[in-house]
Structure 1
Amino acid sequence: MLTTALQSGSCYHPHFTDGRTEALVVSDGDRMGTWALCLQSAHSEPLCCTVSLGEAGICAGEAVKDSGAWPGEGCVRMWVPFGVALMSLAVSCSGLRELGPADHWLPTRREFRHKSNITFNDNDTVSFLEYRSFQFQPDKSHGLESDYIVMPNILVLAAAMLMENKPMSLKLIMTLAFSTLGERAFMNRTVGEIMWGYEDPLIHLINKYLPNMFPFKGKFGLFAELNNSDSGLFTVFTGVKDFSRIHLVDKWNGLSKVSFWHSDQCNMINGTSGQMWAPFMTPETSLEFYSPEACRSMNLIYKESGTFEGIPTYRFVAPSTLFANGSVYPPNEGFCPCRESGIQNVSTCRFNAPLFLSHPHFYNADPVLAEAVLGLHPNQEEHSLFLDIHPVTGIPMNCSVKLQLSLYIKAIRGIGQTGKIQPVVLPLVWFEESGAMEGKPLRTFYTQLVLMPSVLQYAQYVLLALGCVLLLIPIIHQIRSQEKCYLFWSSSKKGSKDKEAIQAYSESLMTSAPKGTVLQEARL
């Protein structure tokens, strides 16, 4: 039994001359998701290496700018299997004892995007290439990209799966080639190498005899093809003639549909390029976009209304059927051949390697998948994706997109490097791309689209009240003027009547006075 601990970040893999190994995926049930690979040969004690599946949080303080066809930037947080320790096993893999500490790697890279070759076309569309580059941010990362971790050797295991139905002679030749090149089923490399590429003699051999098999030349890495590369030529509608079609994808790489899948519906390129959507949304609106990385269109549904920094938003989330198989959700049948529901086979667009796309920790997937790799704990809060959209403009305010890439592995008879690996869909990496509007763009957005409309809304009532007052003033003035005229007319009429009465009285006196009577006039 092994009793000494090795330095964290390293793991000893016994190399058996007879090529035989046994592997079994087990776990210690740790909350972070620790799986252990137990290696056994006929001539040594069983050893286990554990790899912790870490958690990723939202990149606080990162901004996503310029959702249109202009330069922008965002934050990408990459999650990789990490934490390596050597375990001792007495009789079976059910009794694990950790001998070394486990470190955690959570490398964070800032993603920079810029668009080039922007061309406006005559049919109300604009074409552009969007380039991406990543810069490591050690101050926001747990661990360094120079730290070593243990990972399944994707090239060896994927090649073994491709040879499953080939003649035994070819399998033996492949086993010999792997042994000659020093290739094993599992490898110990740095985080940076696994994510962004490493030199491998197998890559050079494959590119020499099968030059079009892999999209990468010289180096292989999980995200090697994404760094300093474009996501394809997008042609989208500008929305000048019809704003409801703004940013809808007309073509991608000159195609209106792809050919990766087995039905026209699944091959359709629908929605936008994922940067903005048509304005004036309602709760019945859905978000549809085409993802070159997933090789398919995706559709998100409305969940709830909310606010982000005082700005009203609609939250859109992935439906439970996003990665469901055809038996659970018939429209997805074209994405098969399928395994358990909740994972999508992307081998047709990933050089036929048995790779599967899903939510992290197999969230919203068949429970048997998470149970097969103990230590996975899928939950909505940590492993679901969401987009918060301003419904009036269709611009994202806050987003967190989390996806997981897994590899299906098993023992292949005739290829010694695979030993007796139990069939399992093994998580390789899950990553989160998150961003939020902040700083000057956020202040401008809030001022122009929230504060000013609110001020104008209240101002209209103030102006309405002021208008009513101004309207009442001449009315009141007119009424008072009419009252004065009435009083003057009444006074004049009364004076005339008095004068007539006096005159009549005087005349009556004159006519009634006897002759010879002298009338005296009294003057006041």
Structure 2
Amino acid sequence: MGSRACACRAPLVLGCAGLLCAVLGAVMILLVPTIIEQQVFKNVRIDPNSLSFNMWKEIPVPFYMSIYFFDILNPEEILKGEKPAVQERGPYVYREFRHKTNITFNDNDTVSFREHRSFRFQPDRSRGSESDYIMMPNILVMGAAAMMEHKPMELKLLLTLAFSTMRQRAFMNRTVREIMWGYDDPLVDFISNRFPGMLPFKGKFGLFAELNDSDSGLFTVFTGVKNFSRIHLVDNWNGISKLNYWHSDQCNMINGTSGQMWAPFMTPESSLEFYSPEACRSMRLTFKETGVYEGIPIYRFVAPNTLFANGSVYPPNEGFCPCRESGIMNVSTCRFNAPLFLSHPHFYNADPVLAEAVTGLDPNPEEHSLFLDVHPVTGIPMNCSVKLQLSLFIKAIRGIGQTGKIAPVVLPMLWFGESGAMEGEPLQTFYKQLVLVPKVLQYAQYVLLGLGCFLLLIFAVYEILVQTPVGASSQLQSAAQPKQPASPCTPLLQDAPSRPLASPPV
């Protein structure tokens, strides 16, 4: 009896379990996307309670800056008007340390901060030492000469005399350490005293001197706590919401983020916009392709062909002019008026005449293009490589003897690449909490729904084929049994009265 009752309850339990799994799976399909979205919103906003706050505050990604110098091989020939020849030297690699200071949360859903940066030379990753000598253009001499081009001849002759007295030439041979972090030069004191305001610094002059042990200014960005639609966007920089370097409102706009995180839930139609104080402008990268980084799905964003295009090729860039050939950007207005230009390394993606004017350049996309790999669900960068080149426009200036007969040319000085990739424990934590858990939930909802439907199907089949009513079964069995034919004697035997049998005769 007990085994029969258990057999009757088993299909009922099976059916209830199937119904429960199917309902739970259907509910998860409806609710899991919303739950994941809410968790992402909660964990990527700039909030001390969010998962990504410590990652935003103390960037766990090891950043490296690799410097490649263009060593000039024929300085004397250049002074005679010949074509420059250069040889790439490097990389000279520096570990870059970043952490945010003066973090202040404001009442208007913004947070203000400074990002302190310092650099440490990495001999094991470098090809050469900081004591290596590099021949390169003397930026102070050629920059001052360019600024004096349209000044009276008397001033030019005075500057020529000053250059001669201080033994300044058009080209200089200095160490990597001096070029990077600064050197004492009497010319700096002379220019500062005779032409106040021409140079924005005093003391040592170096191309990266103002970046080491310093910050890029005071950023104020939206936290996304109250208004998620503006998360990470820059509200102002150094108290201003608009630049004054350029000649159009569009070029002077401070757009995008500070370049560390972007809004989540990206699509291939999304773009990465960020403001770079070093480039004195906002930049916009565009989607190229999808990919996978250490098991994490990513979107790769690259620089469009129009990033450094001149105004004739791309009219919106007209505000960055005066322009030269397309593919280089004039940054003199934000770099002490020296004729400096920003571009991709080796003039990649620029007018070919620029690379052809200098011997020793070989632009190619594999080595000289930049990219950012971003996790599209959270907007957090996984891997990046930003590469830019700094060049100086040089030419002979009438009245300044140090410039000789230099033919006009945009001469590359160096290019640098900043790279960083998430790794180690931060990568594992990110993968588990923001990739693996959502993926498990997404798979679980379909598994539950499928399992529930399968169990319900088994229950239905069992009810139809096995659990047929008992009465109907007996009738079916009786109908199926063959009837025995009646014997001719049967009625006589049934109707005959019961009486004792007679004794046999003796």
Give distance in 2, aligned partners of 1:404 and 1:157.
Answer: 18
1:460 maps to a residue whose letter is Q
Deviation at 1:67, TM superposition (A): 5.6
- State the Cα distance separating 1:83 from its structure 2 match: 7.7
2:264 is paired with a residue of what secondary structure?
coil
2:64 equivalent in structure 1: 75
Deviation at 1:147, TM superposition (A): 1.3
**Aligned letter for 2:339?**
P
Q: Distance in 1 between matches of 2:91 and 2:302?
A: 25
Q: State the partner residue of 1:288.
A: 273
Letter in 1 for 2:182: G
Which residue pairs with 2:309 in the alignment?
Answer: 324
Give the match for residue 121 of structure 1. 106
Q: Distance in 1 between matches of 2:433 and 2:385?
A: 25
Per the normalisation by structure 1, the TM-score is: 0.76
How many Å separate the matches in 2 of 1:473 and 1:154? 83
Give the structure with the higher percent strand. Answer: 1
Higher relative contact order (CA 8 A, sep 6+): 2
Native 8 Å contact 1:83 1:105 kept in 2: no
2:209 alignment counterpart: 224
- What whole-Å deviation, never above 9, does each CA across 1:169-203 have from its counterpart, x for those lacking one? 00111111111122111111111100111111111
Residues 67 and 395 in structure 1, CA contact (< 8 A), matched pair in contact too: no
334 and 479 in structure 1: CA distance in 2 versus 1, 3 angstrom threshold: same
Which residue of 444, 449, 456 corresponds with 1:459? 444
- Taking a change above 3 Å as real, the CA distance of residues 518 and 194 of structure 1, as seen in their structure-2 partners, is closer
* Pair 85,324 (structure 1): closer, same or farther in 2 beyond 3 Å: closer
Listed as ranges, the matches of 1:485-500 within 5 Å are: 485-487=470-472, 490=475
Contact 1:410 1:423 in 2 (8 A): yes
**1:405 matches 2:390:** yes
Q: Which runs of 5+ in 1 are unaligned?
A: 1-64, 495-507
Report whether the alignment pairs 1:440 with 2:425: yes
Q: Which amino acid aligns with 1:68?
A: W
**How far apart in 1 are the matches of 2:103 and 2:134?**
41
Tell me which residue corresponds to 1:271. Answer: 256
Question: 1:340 and 2:325 equivalent?
Answer: yes
Secondary structure, in 3 states, of the residue corresponding to 1:274? Answer: coil
The superposition leaves residues 438-466 of structure 1 with CA deviations (integer Å, 9 ceiling, x where unpaired) of 11122222333333333333333332233
Determine the C-alpha separation between the residues in 2 that align with 1:88 and 1:184: 14
Question: Structure 1 CA distance, aligned partners of 2:336 and 2:77?
Answer: 37
Q: Which residue of 2 aligns with 1:132?
A: 117
Partner of 2:485: none
Structure 1 residue aligned with 2:187: 202
The gaps in structure 2 that reach 5 residues or longer are 1-52, 480-490, 501-506
Distance 2:239 2:77 in 1: 56
Structure-2 separation of matches of 1:350 and 1:397 = 32
Q: Distance in 1 between matches of 2:499 and 2:142?
A: 146
- Asked if 1:414 is matched to 2:421, the reply is no
- 1:487-509 C-alpha deviation (Å, 9 max, x unpaired): 47859999xxxxxxxxxxxxx99
TM-score scaled by length of structure 2: 0.79
Counterpart amino acid of residue 114 in structure 1: H
**Amino acid paired to 1:80:** F
Report the equivalent of 2:338.
Answer: 353
Classify the secondary structure of the residue corresponding to 1:279. coil
- Map of 1:169-184 to 2, 5 A cutoff? 169-184=154-169
* Cα distance change of structure 1 residues 209 and 465 upon mapping to structure 2, 3 Å threshold: same
Structure 2 CA distance for partners of 1:213 and 1:126, relative to 1, 3 Å: same
Give, in angstroms, the shift of residue 162 of structure 1: 0.3
Equivalent position amino acid for 1:357 in 2: L
Displacement after TM superposition at 1:307 (Å): 1.5
State the Cα distance separating 1:366 from its structure 2 match: 1.2
Q: Distance in 1 between matches of 2:269 and 2:350?
A: 26
- 1:55-204 mapped onto 2 (5 Å cutoff): 68-72=56-60, 73-82=62-71, 104-204=89-189
Secondary structure of residue in 1 paired with 2:56: coil
Q: Residue 243 of structure 1: CA displacement?
A: 3.0
Give the aligned length. Answer: 438
CA distance in 1, matches of 2:325, 2:476: 103
Q: Residue 381 and residue 66 in structure 1: after superposition, are their counterparts in 2 closer, same or farther (change >3 A)? A: farther
- Quote the Cα distance in structure 2 between the aligned partners of 1:331 and 1:363: 21
Answer yes or no: is the 8 Å Cα contact 2:387–2:416 preserved in 1. yes
1:44 match? none
Asked if the contact 2:81/2:406 (under 8 Å) is kept, the reply is no
| 1:79 match: secondary structure | strand
Confirm or deny: 8 A CA contact 2:346 2:368 kept in the other structure.
yes
Q: CA RMSD in A?
A: 3.3
Secondary structure of residue in 2 paired with 1:173: helix
Q: Matches of 1:66 and 1:297 in 2, distance apart?
A: 26
